Structure 1
Amino acid sequence: MLTVNSLVELRTKLTALTLLSAAILSSNIAVAQTQPATETHTQQEISHELETYATFGETTPPGNIAIGADGRKFLSVHGFYGQPTKVVELFNDGSVKPYPNEEWATKPGENKLGLYDVLGLNVDQNGILWMLDTSGDDHAGRIVGWNTRSESLEKIIYIAKPMINPGSFLNDLAIDSKHGKIYIADTAANQRAAIIVADIKTGLVRRVLEGSEFTQAEDVDMTIEDRAITLGGQPVRLGVNPITIDPESNWLYFGAMSGTAIYRIKTADLIDTTLDAPALEDKIQRYGDKSLSDGITIDGGGNVYVTSVTKGAIEVTSPAGKSRTLYKDQRIVWPDGFAYGPDDYIYFTVNELHRSPVLNGGDNASQGEFKVMRFPALSKGKAGR
């Protein structure tokens, strides 16, 4: 089975693809502010408290979403569609703008300013937007911190060899404000999938749980719309990807994208450098069940929300370990990343990723199902974490 060994190579070819035109999804029950066809417009489609918050044209297929304590919203633009802009700010009227600015939001030029390809991003309690810029053949991975209050570069933490390997795919991240750490899911080649721990103050980086049963993919097909999703012609098997942290930064929750379990580990154990690999694995707990998923988040009541890519649904796993479907809706076409807002709504992106060139044999079959949706949290949590 092919894991993500060829993913980095595929990503570098995406910018040469000519994107098909995508129709923006409309609703006969929504009233939207009009935007240019290539931009966005907001909608308030309400169905059992599930709302379409914003829709996007073909230039803005969203990856993940981050929301600060002040309510500002940021999106990564998913690299599987080959768009030049990597990060945007999403405004309340549904419009988007390259963020932090045009120069930084695109591929680095001669002055080295810019972003190569961002998926994971998050805002901490100090208003720092941490953007996970994945590695490539000619550059190391980076965590780029941008101060959204002063609108200035805060810090760059480099993630280079041997903390990454040729198959590394730096996918998502969680911010531990309590201990000053950033935890990264490196999906990598499946047998080398791992969690990377970065110290915000010192910039020191550690790689843990590489090849662990808890970070590797399970041998299960990702079937969507009666098709087993493939990567490079082989069934997809993706390791650790969904990752989140509780509001108090006491527990890190994670699981394989191609996996049916949510695990958790105390952050105090994860940063304990005296624990060897077996001892660290002994600290991991199985929290509960999940579907094959691209993202997870958690509220203050210990409810873990899951973006089920195979069911086109939002699921929730309770502290008792039981999983149930919270929302299943025809608008949820590959739900991706989550963010908890200060309004106690949980926001998530939709990007029909199984129709992207990377996961659809090189063809772009997207149908304009690009949006941000939201729903009220079951329990209050905390934004900006």
Structure 2
Amino acid sequence: MTLTVSSFLELRSTVKALTLISAAALSSHVASAQSQAPTESHAQQEISHELETYASFDETTPPGNIAIGPDGRKFLSVHGFYGQPVKIVELFNDGSVKPYPSEAWASNPDENQIGFYDVLGLNVDQNGVLWMLDTSGDDHAGRLVGWNTRSETLEKIIYIAMPLINAGSFLNDLAIDNKHGKIYLADTASNNRAAIVVVDIKTGQARRVLEGSEYTQAEDVDMIIEGRVITLGGQPARLGVNPITIDVDSNWLYFGAMSGSAIYRVKTDDLVDLSLDMDALEDKIQRYGDKSLSDGITIDGGGNVYVTSVTQGAVEVTDSTGNSRTLYKDQRIVWPDGFAYGPDDYIYFTVNELHRSAVLNGGENASKGEFKVMRFPALVKGKTGR
């Protein structure tokens, strides 16, 4: 028997219910990060070819994904598996963090729906709008919340509701298509219902594609980390489409199952073609290359697809010939999660030891506080990450 995402959703609710954070802990959120921060001059250092720890965090800020704007501003989702009250923070160059866009928005929703339930995926478009993917639940739809980081105002909210999603949906990550004005969402969902959701930014119209496709479902392979099979709901984890990214010209969408060994790609022109049914769209998909079981991917200007290998504790890269190799393997890389490509031509990624969270560790939080953002220089420049 394999994991269903509905089991995950129940476990996530349990973790949140059991996790109590005091007001004192919340008020010290920024100070805690500052005490562990790199120096102010960190961002002005010359590019090193070594893997660097850019910022470290305490237990109040286990990072999920990272997004970087055209101006270099950095934003983190706070991973919901650890049940923290703050959902989104801005990361400053000195390593400190602050709830973003405000303390109210970064917290659980109030009666006016100001706030977030649980955000993982986030990204910044070419206009400086930070798009944050608030996942759905039993009593609420999913949402794409766009916040203008230049004017510091709410840009737009797009609701992602049934039948575009289902009871087992887990809206996980996103990629922004600047050419077509679309956002592509990875809905990990119950494995046989994993899909990609195509959202029009201007109209808010959306459609669900590739649901239950061999390209979006998990492979039947165990996730083994630190000598044990990772389970969810007491069963071996099998997670469908999650890692997703897009090239700089918005010509190709790259994606794959988290529990999968392949990177696929499809032309965005085909994804937005309403005349293509599922069979016809599947015929357009190409296998780009190999990968490990992974949480995140991104791509540079040379067609190198970077992979956060959760099972190997490594960053891997798959080049345009389809060959995969390990770029960095380091004891600091304890469940690497999401990527972002910065305007400084560094690639940043989060580390959150997720396999030690209660959700993936039989209900016991065994994390050791190895929460950080790391970075390394891109092999080939020319990707903005949006």
Fold-level similarity (TM above 0.5): yes
Letter in 1 for 2:291: K
* Secondary structure, aligned partner of 1:367: coil
**Partners of 1:14 and 1:154 in 2: CA distance:** 32
C-alpha contact 2:77 2:88 (8 A) present in aligned 1: yes
Which residue does the alignment assign to 2:238? 237
* Secondary structure, aligned partner of 1:37: helix
C-alpha contact 2:316 2:326 (8 A) present in aligned 1: yes
**Partners of 2:103 and 2:19 in 1: CA distance:** 22
Which residue does the alignment assign to 2:206? 205
5 Å matches for 1:1-385?
1-18=2-19, 36-37=31-32, 41-43=36-38, 49-385=50-386
Structure 2 gap ranges (5+):
22-29
How far is the alpha carbon of 1:39 from its aligned partner? 5.1
How far is the alpha carbon of 1:42 from its aligned partner? 2.9
| Distance change >3 Å, CA 106–CA 89, structure 1 → 2 | same
C-alpha contact 2:4 2:168 (8 A) present in aligned 1: no
* Secondary structure, aligned partner of 1:15: helix
How far is the alpha carbon of 1:48 from its aligned partner? 5.7
Give per-residue Cα distances to partners, 1:53-82, cap 9 Å, x unaligned: 000000000000000010000000000000
| Distance change >3 Å, CA 152–CA 259, structure 1 → 2 | same
* Secondary structure, aligned partner of 1:283: coil
How far is the alpha carbon of 1:172 from its aligned partner? 0.1
How far is the alpha carbon of 1:36 from its aligned partner? 3.6
How far is the alpha carbon of 1:293 from its aligned partner? 0.1
**Partners of 1:381 and 1:346 in 2: CA distance:** 12
How far is the alpha carbon of 1:5 from its aligned partner? 2.4
**Partners of 1:299 and 1:377 in 2: CA distance:** 7
**Partners of 2:82 and 2:174 in 1: CA distance:** 21
C-alpha contact 1:127 1:384 (8 A) present in aligned 2: no
**Partners of 2:268 and 2:352 in 1: CA distance:** 31
Decide which structure has greater helix share.
2
TM-score by length of 2: 0.94
**Partners of 2:380 and 2:343 in 1: CA distance:** 12
| Distance change >3 Å, CA 269–CA 287, structure 1 → 2 | same
C-alpha contact 1:40 1:57 (8 A) present in aligned 2: no
How far is the alpha carbon of 1:17 from its aligned partner? 2.6
Structure 1 gap ranges (5+):
21-34
* Secondary structure, aligned partner of 1:278: helix
C-alpha contact 1:229 1:360 (8 A) present in aligned 2: yes
Which residue does the alignment assign to 2:25? none
Letter in 1 for 2:195: A
Letter in 2 for 1:206: R
C-alpha contact 2:299 2:383 (8 A) present in aligned 1: no
How far is the alpha carbon of 1:41 from its aligned partner? 2.8
* Secondary structure, aligned partner of 1:42: coil
**Partners of 2:93 and 2:51 in 1: CA distance:** 18
How far is the alpha carbon of 1:151 from its aligned partner? 0.2
Give per-residue Cα distances to partners, 1:351-372, cap 9 Å, x unaligned: 0000001001111100011000
| Number of residues of Structure 1 aligned to a counterpart in Structure 2 | 371
Identity %: 80
**Partners of 2:73 and 2:81 in 1: CA distance:** 25
